[in-house]
Amino acid sequence: MDLYAFFFYFFAVLTVGSAFVVVFSRNIIYSAFALMFTFFGVAALYVLLYADFVAVTQLLVYVGGILVLIIFGVMLTTKVFSVEMKTGTLNLLPATLFTAIIAGMLIFVFSATDWNVVPDQEWDTTVYGIGALLVNEFILPMQVAGVLLLVAMIGAVMMAARDWTKLKSK
């Protein structure tokens, strides 16, 4: 087994194992920290697939933003350390059947795929390729999306400020 395969299997086991802890843990703190290991494992798998931009985006957005927000929200909530989560099993047979079908399809795709693909050497990194696409071909849609998101954020702030002033005056 070469070093690449070792790292792939290591991060795959880390990702799947920590995802099981997220799903099956009864303590929400353990679930949140296991989610961090899941996100790191997925980012490492992206690095092994030569998708460096997606790996960095995974770390910045999910680990740096969303997971930190979840952990702070959980830690700042009072009496969350003693909460035991209980779930009931609903629709166990359809869920098991659906999971088995998806697992069968994934196993078929994994076994039928030629994994010895050499990455395209036209660009040094995927960041350069994405930047070239955004600047050359998709500059107008990117600017329109940016303006649309700016207008949506301003509207959300205006709506929140209006609701806050109504609550403050009561």
Single out the residue of 38, 20, 4, 41 nearest to residue 119, CA to CA.
4
Cβ-count burial of 43 within 10 angstroms (0-12 exposed, 13-18 middle, 19+ buried)?
A: buried
Residue ranges of domains in the chain: 1-84+123-130, 138-170
Single out the residue of 8, 17, 20, 5 nearest to residue 45, CA to CA.
8
pTM of the complete model: 0.57
pLDDT digits (tens, 9 = 90+) for 112-167: 887 776 665 555 667 777 777 777 888 888 889 889 989 998 888 888 777 666 65
How high is the mean pLDDT of the chain? 81
Choice between 66 and 167, residue whose per-residue pLDDT is larger: 66
The pLDDT of residue 15 is: 95
The pLDDT of residue 120 is: 59
Does 1-84+123-130 carry CATH code 1.20.1530.20?
no
Share of residues in the chain with pLDDT > 70 (%): 81
d(CA 141, CA 76): 40
Query: Sorting pLDDT into bands at 50, 70 and 90, what band is 97?
Result: very high
DSSP 120: P
Query: Sorting pLDDT into bands at 50, 70 and 90, what band is 12?
Result: very high
